[in-house]
Each structure stands twice: as C-alpha cells, then as structure tokens.
C-alpha cells in the first residue's frame, strides 16, 4: 500500500471512530438529559429539553453526517455490522461506568459474540 493509500485508510479509520464516539456520546447525553427532565403525566409525555439533551442531539446529528461520509467508502455489508456492533459494545461499557447500570451474564455473552463477530468480519480471505 502506497503513502496515499495509507493516508486514505487512516482517514477512514478516524472517520469511523468519530462516528462511533459521536453516536455513543449522543445516546449517553440524551439518556442523562431524559432522566433528569422527562416525566409521565396523565398518560402523556411532558418533555423538557435541557443542555444534556441538546448536546446529545447535536452529537447524534453530527454522527449521522459523518456516517453519510463514511458509507460510500466501504461496502455496506461490511461497515454496517461493524459500526453497529461497536456502538452496542461501547454503549454497554459506558452504561456500566457512567450510568452505573448492572450487566448480566447473558448481556456479557452477547457483547462477546458481537466483538467476536467484528473480529471475524476483519479477517482477510
């Protein structure tokens, strides 16, 4: 692989990481914001938007825009499972450390399976 190919590969990896991080951060902030301000009143939802929700929404919109740039650079059948799996795994890890959620054995097995699938997707023929 020449210098140009290496540079392109690095920029693709950086874009992928940006997409994944922005998606996970967006979900986390929307969750935090929603827990602080969302209330259920008489079978209707009263939604008060706060700074966490707005920043989370901004991250989510940015992740969508980055994904629009990423998709044409890869085969859809390759990139979609990898990004989805990475987001699932990172959301679980962030949920444990930031939101203090408890994760059961089957969830760990599921995440392990997803990570194993990502590794298999990256094995060269």
DSSP the chain: --HHHHHHHHHHHHHHHHHHHHHHHHHHHHHHHHHHHEEEETTEEEE---HHHHHHHHHHHHHHHHHHHHGGGS-HHHHHHHHHHHHHHHHHHHHHHTS-----HHHHHHHHHHHHHHHHHTS--
Total domain count, the chain: 1
Q: What is the pLDDT of residues 8-58, one digit of tens each?
A: 999 999 999 999 999 999 999 999 988 775 555 555 666 667 899 999 999
Domain hosting residue 44, numbered range = 3-121
pTM: 0.84
């Amino acid at each position: 692989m020449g210098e140009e190919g290496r540079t392109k590969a690095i920029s693709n990896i950086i874009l992928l990481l940006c997409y994944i991080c922005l998606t996970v951060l967006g979900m986390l902030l929307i969750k935090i914001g929603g827990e602080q301000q969302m209330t259920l009143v008489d079978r209707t939802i009263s939604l008060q938007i706060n700074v966490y929700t707005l920043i989370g929404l901004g991250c989510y919109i940015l992740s969508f825009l980055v994904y629009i740039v990423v998709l044409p650079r890869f085969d859809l059948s390759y990139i979609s499972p990898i990004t989805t799996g990475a987001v699932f795994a990172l959301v679980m890890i962030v949920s444990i450390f930031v939101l203090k959620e408890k994760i059961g054995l089957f969830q760990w097995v599921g995440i392990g399976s997803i990570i194993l699938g990502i590794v298999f997707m990256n094995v060269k023929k």
